[in-house]
Copies of this chain bind each other. A is one copy, B any other.
Amino acid sequence: MNTKKSQGGKSRCPICQLGIFTELGRPIEDALQNLDAESLNFMAGSTVYETASAATAIYVLMHGYVKLAKTTLIGKSQIIRIVRAGEIFGFDGLVAEYYNHSAAAVGEIDVCRIPVAGLQDLGEHKAEVERLIMVRCIKELQHADERLLELGAKRSPERLASFLVDWCNAASANGWVPLVLSRSEIAQFLGLTIETVSRLFASWKRDGILREQKQSIRVMDWQRLKLLAQSN
């Protein structure tokens, strides 16, 4: 068993504590408490759901990182999204019978699992929650569009550089930023090989653009990195 419920059974899901639904106002927050949402904890590397497993819930990531991935028939896998705390994943649960991708924990995570069946019980508030989900979904779609541009129209240095720029920006901590992903995961995310990623890191470290220590990176020359992200 690679998953454990943090406090067993239908524990009160702390959705609101993260502020995802707070914008909807208190009555809805209360209604959400009545869903049988569960707070779950997964240890590093464990699977939240597999491709083609029954899509019965959507998830809100409370803490940590989740990677969503798809695999070709010949076994090459592509990470389609890295989910951050506060984001929703598992949209498939709302329209499809099965998930079309897998979700796995990168490091230890806490998620809130919301059974889709429960959403039906929201009554008058259902519409507002669905609207919020719609908005989130559209944002995901925009993000996916951006990634299609990355994968379809950019070369390896541009892909890695803009990935690093995004990653460090999201981390907001300037200075050292924990790089949660392994070389292999970065490669799978960018549609490259481990070796290519490794060589680019090495080259940029040599050039003084980056430094790395203990799974963390620090950008020394933002200007050059951003330039690499845009052209050659």
Contact = CB atoms under 8 A, between A and B. Distances in A.
Interface stretch (A28-36, A139-147, A170-178): A139-147
Interface in A63-105: 68, 70-74, 76-78, 80-81, 91-92, 94-96, 100-101
Nearest to A134: B134
Contact of A231 (B73, B77, B188): B73
A101 B91 CA distance: 23
B135 A94 contact: yes
B230 A146 contact: no
A77 B153 contact: yes
Interface string A165-197: 000000000000000000000001011000000
Q: Copies of this chain, how many?
A: 2
A138 B70 contact: no
Interface string A123-160: 00011001101110111111011111101111000000
29 contacts: A68-B145, A70-B148, A71-B149, A72-B153, A72-B154, A76-B154, A77-B153, A78-B148, A78-B153, A80-B149, A91-B138, A92-B142, A94-B134, A94-B135, A94-B138, A95-B135, A96-B138, A100-B146, A126-B127, A127-B130, A130-B131, A133-B134, A134-B137, A141-B144, A147-B148, A148-B151, A151-B151, A151-B191, A153-B191
